[in-house]
Amino acid sequence: MRRRIIAGNWKMNMLKSEAKQFMVELIPLVKDAKCEIVLCTPYTDIHRVYKLSLGTNIGVGAQNVSWADKGAFTGEISADMLKEVGASYCIIGHSERRAYFGETDESVNKRLLQALKCGLKPIVCVGETLDEREGGLTEKTLARQLTEGLKGAEGDIIIAYEPVWAIGTGRTATPETANETIAFIRKIVTPLIGETSILYGGSMNAANAQSLLDMSEIDGGLIGGASLKSADFSIIVHCK
Ligand code: 13P
């Protein structure tokens, strides 16, 4: 089902006291929001943020999930562990995991199937690099990431389009480029998993969010840097 989702990705930020302070500020600012609000925090913040979110309209997620149930997988965190501490969403296949931690379309697919099996709502990230965009390979890259990544998957799967060249660079895709690319993504994913929300991510902030969210194909946002400040994040949450 297509719906407005505003998700924060804290990446590797927010110590205990910072996370608490953020929540104390954010909760009253977004209590009347009309959209689904999600915070994907570091593993170590999930339980704290979850406890503070009880009785509010804020959902909590992780930034990755193991593809295995349990066992000898040093450093990994299972879906059951995430659920036990209060996560109900998880990001899968973020470009930083693809670039720095060897994530592949195949491992994205394994993690996705595991998340769905265990009842976590996945946010699957796709996006092209600058070289791929400039080399005319955007559609080919996205088509591969989506068909391989979503293979055999069924259920409520949120997709995030995050062009790698726009992440953390201050260089946002124009609303028109983001809209056009998400329209292409929608054409591929709808026959695979049905109608779903597709978010834009990459230097989205309080100043440019409305112009992106005004576009017909953009259902919401996955926000990095601007999700670390409660005032900025709440402005994005309240966009029309
Ligand atoms: P920025 O909003 O900091 O560019 O990060 C986007 C992102 O990677 C969200 O997952």
Catalytic residue positions, numbered: 94, 162
Can you tell me the mean pLDDT for 135-150? 98
Query: With a 6 A CB cut-off, is 61 part of the ligand 1 pocket?
Result: no
Count the helix, strand and coil residues of the chain and give each as a percent rounded to the nearest 5.
45, 15, 40
**pLDDT at residue 1 tops 90:** no
Q: Determine the pLDDT at residue 2.
A: 96
Find the mean pLDDT for residues 64-81.
98
Q: How far is the CA of 70 from the centre of ligand 1 (A)?
A: 30
Nearest CA to ligand 1 atom 5: 224
User: What interhelical angle do 43-53 and 16-30 show, nearest 10?
Assistant: 40
- Taken in order of first residue, the domains within the chain and their CATH numbers are 5-237 (3.20.20.70)
The pLDDT mean for the chain works out to: 97
- Residue 43, token pair as written in the block: 């593993």
pLDDT level of residue 95 (50, 70, 90 thresholds)? very high
pLDDT at residue 223, rounded to an integer: 98
SS3 204: coil
Cβ(229)–Cβ(207) under 8 Å?
Answer: no
- Sign of the alpha-carbon dihedral angle for 88, 92, 95, 96: positive
Cα dihedral 174/133/165/99 (nearest 10): 150
225 lines ligand 1 (CB under 6 A): yes
CA distances 187 to 6, 26, 195, Å, are 22, 35, 10
> H/E element holding 124?
strand 121-126
What is the CA(72)–ligand 1 centre distance, in A? 32
Please say whether the beta carbons of 167 and 200 come within 8 A. Answer: no
Is the beta carbon of 163 within 6 A of some atom in ligand 1? no
pTM of the model: 0.98
> What token pair was written down for 211?
């112009």
pLDDT surpasses 90 at 153: yes
